[in-house]
Amino acid sequence: MPASVTVVAPARLHLGFLDLHGGLKRRFGSIGLAIDRPATRLHISRAARNAAAGPDSERALAHVEALQRRHGLSSFYDVAIETAIPDHVGLGSGTQLALALGAGLRLLEGLPADPADDALLLQRTMRSGIGAAIFERGGVIVDGGRGERTITPPVIARLDFPPAWRVILVLDPTLKGIHGPEEIRSFAALKPFEASASGEICRLVLIQALPALVEADIDAFGAAITRIQEIVGDYFAPAQGGGAFTSPRVAQAMAELARHGAKGIGQSSWGPTGFAFAADAADAARICALSREKSNALGVDIAICKGLNHGAIVRGDLPDGPAPARATATIGTDRPTRS
């Protein structure tokens, strides 16, 4: 068994809910995308007592204790969080941290990988299943929402994100998105969602967005995502200060990006992070350069990243020789290898 394990878990974009109406006895459903940065990177090893250092260390310790109880483990663990996805900005930080710890501890103790079980234990699939699926498989994920007997929202589609495309993120460093009890209250206060709106979103996903990914048609994909975001943004506006974006500054920056040719304008989850798409690295750089003066004046941060077509990387150090060998697994895609 490895002496220590390193896990790198990708951030995710939540591109929209499919059905908030629930008239077919399933609710939510989501479309989402894995991106290559920011990422959560942590190391876990056995120790004399449980300890954690780095961002989100308190939550990490709580997850480790839950995993110890779940698996009946008598060992203690040290967790070093090297980098973390910013919390409560719409990039799935909580789910990726929880699943990274679950995967790391499982590899350390020789237990089979099971992200779905870890997500259920650590309460990470209450509405959307895309965070767990992205940890396991990467790419673009569509989940089928929650029915009466659903344990984990099922993945009903998974496609690669075109490698040439780029994702533009707009972050407001002064705000956090709705989360925790406030999120529950916000959902409860929203008016009923129209069945016709759910129908339009599902049609946009199935007949426009997913085929556009297969055909690498960024105009069609961007148009579908923009329209989905308009529908969902209007619905959540009363909980977000009256607008489709939690941050008015991000909203202005997104409008500027669109003016210079960015596609698929939207907000990930409760935000405040906004996103858009570009056809390639040069196009993304051009759009961001033309928008830089406006974004600087607004005080928002812009980053260019890639879609990620594999799941989290889980790597163990094996103490079986003069120099430790390495066992590496990309969750959901490659079998472990040794070199």
The enclosing domain of 245 has a CATH number of: 3.30.70.890
Tell me, rounded to whole angstroms, the distance of Cα 11 from its chain centroid.
4
How large is the average pLDDT for residues 249-259?
A: 97
Tell me, yes or no, whether 210 and 87 share the same domain. Answer: no
In the prediction, which pLDDT does 199 show? 97
Tell me, yes or no, whether 298 and 190 share the same domain. Answer: yes
Tell me, yes or no, whether 275 and 237 share the same domain. Answer: yes
The pLDDT tens digits for 158-181 are 999 999 999 999 999 999 887 777
In the prediction, which pLDDT does 331 show? 60
Cα-flanking dihedrals φ and ψ of residue 310, to 5°? -140, 165
Number of domains present in the structure of the chain: 2
Tell me, yes or no, whether 276 and 339 share the same domain. Answer: no
In the prediction, which pLDDT does 258 show? 98
Tell me, yes or no, whether 293 and 246 share the same domain. Answer: yes
Tell me, yes or no, whether 90 and 235 share the same domain. Answer: no
Percentage of residues in the chain with pLDDT exceeding 70?
Answer: 93
The pLDDT tens digits for 175-201 are 988 777 777 787 778 889 999 999 999
Tell me, yes or no, whether 66 and 152 share the same domain. Answer: yes
Confidence class for position 235, pLDDT limits 50, 70, 90 = very high
Tell me, yes or no, whether 29 and 142 share the same domain. Answer: yes
In the prediction, which pLDDT does 188 show? 78
Q: Who has greater pLDDT, 125 or 320? A: 125
Cα-flanking dihedrals φ and ψ of residue 50, to 5°? -70, 135
**Burial of residue 219 (number of CB atoms within 10 Å: 0-12, 13-18, 19+):** exposed
Tell me, yes or no, whether 215 and 254 share the same domain. Answer: yes
Residue whose C-alpha is closest to residue 177's, from 96, 265, 268: 268
Residue whose C-alpha is closest to residue 230's, from 205, 263, 201: 201
In the prediction, which pLDDT does 325 show? 37
In the prediction, which pLDDT does 257 show? 98
In the prediction, which pLDDT does 53 show? 96
Alpha helices for the chain (secondary structure H):
57-71, 93-108, 115-121, 130-137, 181-189, 195-203, 210-214, 218-236, 248-259, 281-298
Tell me, yes or no, whether 275 and 339 share the same domain. Answer: no
Res 324 pLDDT > 70: no
In the prediction, which pLDDT does 1 show? 75
Find residue 35's DSSP bridge partners.
Answer: 11, 307
Range of the domain at 209: 162-307
Confidence class for position 320, pLDDT limits 50, 70, 90 = low
Tell me, yes or no, whether 212 and 317 share the same domain. Answer: no
How large is the average pLDDT for residues 86-97?
A: 93
Tell me, yes or no, whether 254 and 331 share the same domain. Answer: no
Res 319 pLDDT > 80: no
